[in-house]
Amino acid sequence: MSDQIDYIEFPSTDRAASSSFFKAAFGWGAVSYGPDYDGLTDAGVDGGVDQAQDRVASTMAIVRTADLDDAERRVIAAGGTITKAQFDFPGGRRFHFREPGGNELAVWTAHE
């Protein structure tokens, strides 16, 4: 399916502490993808904890799409503002945008 929220990203100043908290409070697991990022498991939806210096300021929903360029055109046409241009990451490509009410989201697609 396309154009559905399938990932939630939590910014953190302390990735290890956030991941440990989620495990203790909710039983979620974590998979480390380096010193700045943990993927979350068993949370009901895929997610991650991001400690990178350029992380977003607040929790961000991420929408999966089949055609990233088309999704970007639709976001702009609907009044969204691109906040981070398309970029590659392990497993795919994505961009960030702000919707007119101020929430920042991302759209991603898997590498083919």
Q: How large a percentage of the chain has pLDDT more than 90?
A: 92
Which of the four pLDDT bands, split at 50, 70 and 90, describes residue 9?
very high
Q: Average pLDDT for residues 64-91, to the nearest whole number?
A: 96
Which of the four pLDDT bands, split at 50, 70 and 90, describes residue 49?
very high
Q: What is the CATH number of the domain that holds 36?
A: 3.10.180.10
Instruction: Please write the tens of the pLDDT for every residue from 16-32.
Output: 999 999 999 999 999 99
User: Total structural domains in the chain?
Assistant: 1
Q: Is the pTM of this model over 0.75?
A: yes
Range of the domain at 102: 4-110
Q: Could you tell me the CA-to-CA distances from 104 to 8, 27, 60, 112 in Å, in that order?
A: 12, 27, 6, 26
pLDDT surpassing 70 at residue 57: yes
Q: Average pLDDT for residues 4-13, to the nearest whole number?
A: 95
Q: Is 48 exposed, middle or buried (0-12, 13-18, 19+ CB in 10 A)?
A: buried
Q: What is residue 66's three-state secondary structure?
A: coil
Q: What is the Cα–Cα distance from 44 to 33, expressed in whole angstroms?
A: 20
Question: What's residue 2's pLDDT?
Answer: 83
